[in-house]
Structure 1
Amino acid sequence: MDNDHITVYSAKSKIQKIRNRRHTKAETKAYKQKPPPHEKKRTPDMGVRPGAKEDFKDIVSLILANNDAEAFMWTSKILEAIKEQAKRMLHEIYDYTKDLAYTDTRSPEYRLQGVILDISTFRLFQAVRSDQSEEKTNRPFIKVRFTNKELTYLQEHYVITPADKASNNYTFTWKKYYFDSLVNGLGLNSKPGNPTYTPTNLSASEIIDNHKSALVSFGFDTTNLDLDLPYLYCIPKMHKNPYKQRFIAGSSKCSTKSVSILLAKVLSEIKSGLQKYCSTEYSRSGINQMWILKNSKELLEHLKSTHFSRVHSIKAFDFSTLYTTIPHSKLKERLAKIISNAFSSKNGNRKYKFIVINYDKTYFVKEKSDSENKYTETDIIQMLNFLIDNIFVVFGGKVFQQIVGIPMGTNCAPLLADIFLYSYEAEFIQSLVSERKRYLASDFNFTYRYIDDVLSINNPKFADYLGSIYPSELEVKETTETNNSASYLDIMLSYDTDGHMNTSLYDKRDDFNFSITNFPFLSSNIPSSPAYGVFISQLIRYARASTKYMDFVLRARRLSDKLLSQGYVCDRLTSSLRKFYGRYWELVIHYDVPLSRMVDDILS
């Protein structure tokens, strides 16, 4: 993707950068003496610097203290102060974004400058009139026609979306380029498009009517359902060079959503049963055929085992475009077999007649059930086939059918992919055991997979067997960083010359070429206690992931510096750190570091 057509914005980070400009010594001293309040404020924070904020406070206090018209003579002074702050703010925004986007009248920065001034003015007047009589409150002080004009321009010329893997950062993409990307991806021009989608002659209304009939046959009530087909959109991958896009099917009102939600509950129960079965078999045979991982926390618990006292190999892999490359025929065949096995015993005889899906619980029953929400094996397989065969998306007034893969937007998509891959992994291990290659099968005991990310420990030849494990349609690439280290999920794993395993926190967003907005600002409207609770929750996460004290400190110090720059008070962060140390001492006891040193290392 052409980088010139996309601008990434983190509004809070821009304002914070502006606030952090150099002040006079008097301003800095005054600011330190009176830190920003963390409780609910009477007057909204308008994003101004400390020195000017005191001026605003004096003027607004005078206005709020007087109900007569004479007090509003100060309005002109307020406006002048706002204009001055807005000019300085805009100057900082241009400095920050000059390398990221246009600086002409078509660029988002140019159109936003008027919005910043107008909204700042409007917010101040809102604060002023909030303390006035009802009669005066109902009379608007300002009309935001200029703001509406600029925002309308942005709507007409740009598509505003969150950035991939940084959902609190928003991107402005030139609209023509955005739609060209979708057009090229779908093959609506002379260029070959994405083989995942193909045009259909059916209209959206015809497809929805067919879906309604199928839903009724499955026992769903469609009376009050607002059914529609998913729409295709994309979000920029700003961390790629050049920029790429991730295609997503927006399925909030999808006509197959009810079926997808039900299948998600069924498959989740089946997956849980498979994990229990494989765990029992592992303890009996010493062979692990369940590689599915719940999260990185579960991985860290596994790594505490004595099996990892000596490590000699760490390999990481991932599937390229897993969701859009799974063949439908193999997906239906594999999932149908898994579902059938879930209803049967080991000898193949029927064990369960129904699966019952209640509001808070899903379970199998052998014979009878009074529940209205009970389904047979045949019902579940029919719904699965219906869902896979009826994946449609709408774009530009045309309807496309997805003929390969599963959409990322549907509820059961992760479970479909997870169980599909499990079927091949378990089959591979079982074939090794049946061929009396138990020693080779045991080499895969320390293999972990989270959806499309695979980790193999102490099995340096894992890559040699990828073609024997997974279907040829899926592409698996190795992502190992070095010979003795690899990143997996949010963990960096490494081992030293003695084979000792070390872990630390890994965040791929650290390498992004733009600032990430991922923690609350105290100037926002959230209460202060949950905001400071973020500090404790992140310290817990860092301590769990970090084997070495210095890795923990580096992360914690980076976080504290960021929070302090976002208006947090050092004394309250210190108090939060003390709470963390006292309540979660088991996470830091192996560091053998007293609290006083930890406070100095993180907050000094």
Structure 2
Amino acid sequence: MTRERKTKPRSSLTEASKEGVKILRALIDILREREETEYKATGVRKWWTVESIEEVALNVKANEDKLIGLKMRTADFTTMYTKLPHQKIIDAIVVAWDRAVEYKRRESKQHAHEKELGFVIDQEGEYHFQVIDRDNTNDSPNLITRSTFLELMTVLITDNHIWNGGDLKRQVIGIPMGSPVSPHFANLFRYAVEAKFVEELLASGKLKEAQACAHTYAYIDDLCTFGGPLPSEQHYGIPMTGDPEPREEEWDFNVIKYPHASSNIPWNQGAAVFKGQLIRTTDTKRTSA
């Protein structure tokens, strides 16, 4: 954080974040379509991100015969949200846009390079990919082109502030955990690294290793693979671990885990925490029975 002038913020990125989520989801839909199409043709999957744990469970169940005998490995990033450099996120956003556009150009030969590609918003407020003549861009004032997209995303990544103790501070590394766009930024950062990792395997003639990544699943800062290689910490450029070590060991303050007068947990969450502990204990007993 860097200290700036002492003044209260008079603006918010909330509405911009909501629109950013819509655009990113439309972009991600294209990327998923691209990678699923290539997976069906080659057996190589470069999009590892899942939307929920249920998606992993369904995929594992559907492929249980293929997974027999394969070793499951996990890894996670203990400080992804707080340590992601802004430029790495912006670079990943550029990769995501270019890969989506490349797929759309390849999908239809009529999408020549003299065409402008981008997203337009419909009457329901949803974004759709569209191709128009560059000479007619003035007829589509709502067209989100590459430059407009990157300008918006750069603001959402770099222009986050917090008012604390009379000081206005700007976040210069990492992304806000409470922002609706942050999970999408994290997923696209990983996608840029993971797609490049798989392509490097293919370029090295390691087709089997690349195909083994087909049963790798990722959700924001957690990874799980059945028999496939995983990118290293050097690939991602941020700390990661495959060991089930407590995250609080990386923090420079003591964590009090149970609600009481001096707890780090707000008093109004006490009942929910207590209920969660009861459910956890019950589930543990059922599992061990």
* TM superposition score normalised by structure 1: 0.37
Per-residue deviation at 1:456? 1.2
Change in 2 beyond 3 A, CA 1:480/1:378: same
Q: How does 1:158-169 map to 2 (within 5 A)?
A: none
Per-residue deviation at 1:295? 1.1
Q: How does 1:551-570 map to 2 (within 5 A)?
A: 554=286
Counterparts of 1:339 and 1:518 in 2: how far apart (Å)?
45
1:322 to 59, 77, 80: 80
1:378-432, Cα deviation, whole Å (9 max, x unpaired): 1111111122221111111111110001111112111011111100000110111
1:336 to 65, 88, 94: 94
Match of 1:589 in 2: none
Q: How does 1:268-283 map to 2 (within 5 A)?
A: 268-283=25-40
Counterparts of 1:348 and 1:421 in 2: how far apart (Å)?
30
Per-residue deviation at 1:301? 1.5
1:327 corresponds to which letter in structure 2?
P
If asked which structure has higher relative contact order (CA below 8 Å, sep 6+), I would say 2
Q: Number of aligned pairs? A: 247
Match of 2:258 in 1: none
Q: Secondary structure at the match of 1:335?
A: helix
Match of 1:476 in 2: 240
Counterparts of 2:162 and 2:52 in 1: how far apart (Å)?
31
Contact 2:6 2:167 in 1 (8 A): no
1:516 aligns with 2:263: no
Counterparts of 2:141 and 2:115 in 1: how far apart (Å)?
20
Structure 1: tracts of 5 or more residues without a match: 1-196, 209-226, 228-254, 482-511, 520-550, 559-604
Change in 2 beyond 3 A, CA 1:413/1:348: farther
Counterparts of 1:277 and 1:479 in 2: how far apart (Å)?
33
Counterparts of 1:404 and 1:333 in 2: how far apart (Å)?
14
Match of 2:4 in 1: 200
Counterparts of 1:318 and 1:348 in 2: how far apart (Å)?
41
Q: How does 1:41-440 map to 2 (within 5 A)?
A: 197-201=1-5, 203-205=7-9, 208=10, 227=11, 255-303=12-60, 304-344=62-102, 345-346=105-106, 349=113, 352-358=116-122, 359-367=124-132, 373-440=142-209
Per-residue deviation at 1:203? 2.9
Q: Secondary structure at the match of 1:429?
A: helix
Per-residue deviation at 1:348? 9.0
1:203 corresponds to which letter in structure 2?
T
1:283 corresponds to which letter in structure 2?
K
Per-residue deviation at 1:377? 1.7
Q: Secondary structure at the match of 1:403?
A: coil
Q: How does 1:589-600 map to 2 (within 5 A)?
A: none
1:448 to 201, 204, 217: 217
Per-residue deviation at 1:198? 2.0
Counterparts of 2:162 and 2:128 in 1: how far apart (Å)?
33
Counterparts of 2:34 and 2:65 in 1: how far apart (Å)?
22
Change in 2 beyond 3 A, CA 1:399/1:309: closer
Per-residue deviation at 1:360? 4.6
Change in 2 beyond 3 A, CA 1:202/1:285: farther
Q: Secondary structure at the match of 1:302?
A: helix
Counterparts of 1:361 and 1:348 in 2: how far apart (Å)?
25
Contact 1:322 1:452 in 2 (8 A): yes
2:95 corresponds to which letter in structure 1?
K
Counterparts of 1:424 and 1:334 in 2: how far apart (Å)?
8
Counterparts of 1:365 and 1:404 in 2: how far apart (Å)?
34
Q: Secondary structure at the match of 2:148?
A: helix
Q: Secondary structure at the match of 1:201?
A: coil
Match of 1:37 in 2: none
Counterparts of 1:376 and 1:301 in 2: how far apart (Å)?
36
Per-residue deviation at 1:356? 1.2
Q: Secondary structure at the match of 1:320?
A: coil
Per-residue deviation at 1:479? 4.1
Per-residue deviation at 1:201? 2.8
2:92 corresponds to which letter in structure 1?
R
Structure 2: tracts of 5 or more residues without a match: 246-271
Per-residue deviation at 1:319? 0.7
Match of 1:583 in 2: none
1:434 corresponds to which letter in structure 2?
A
Q: Secondary structure at the match of 2:77?
A: strand
1:466 aligns with 2:232: yes
Counterparts of 1:405 and 1:282 in 2: how far apart (Å)?
32
Contact 2:3 2:169 in 1 (8 A): yes
Counterparts of 2:278 and 2:112 in 1: how far apart (Å)?
51
1:409 corresponds to which letter in structure 2?
G
Counterparts of 2:114 and 2:177 in 1: how far apart (Å)?
34
Q: Secondary structure at the match of 1:261?
A: helix
Change in 2 beyond 3 A, CA 1:443/1:354: closer
Counterparts of 2:89 and 2:274 in 1: how far apart (Å)?
39
1:457 aligns with 2:237: no
Change in 2 beyond 3 A, CA 1:350/1:391: farther
Match of 2:248 in 1: none
1:262-281, Cα deviation, whole Å (9 max, x unpaired): 11111111111111111111
Contact 1:275 1:290 in 2 (8 A): yes
Q: How does 1:485-496 map to 2 (within 5 A)?
A: none
* TM superposition score normalised by structure 2: 0.75
1:557-591, Cα deviation, whole Å (9 max, x unpaired): x9xxxxxxxxxxxxxxxxxxxxxxxxxxxxxxxxx
Contact 2:92 2:189 in 1 (8 A): yes
Contact 2:67 2:226 in 1 (8 A): no
Counterparts of 1:480 and 1:320 in 2: how far apart (Å)?
11
Counterparts of 2:153 and 2:212 in 1: how far apart (Å)?
35
Counterparts of 1:324 and 1:420 in 2: how far apart (Å)?
14
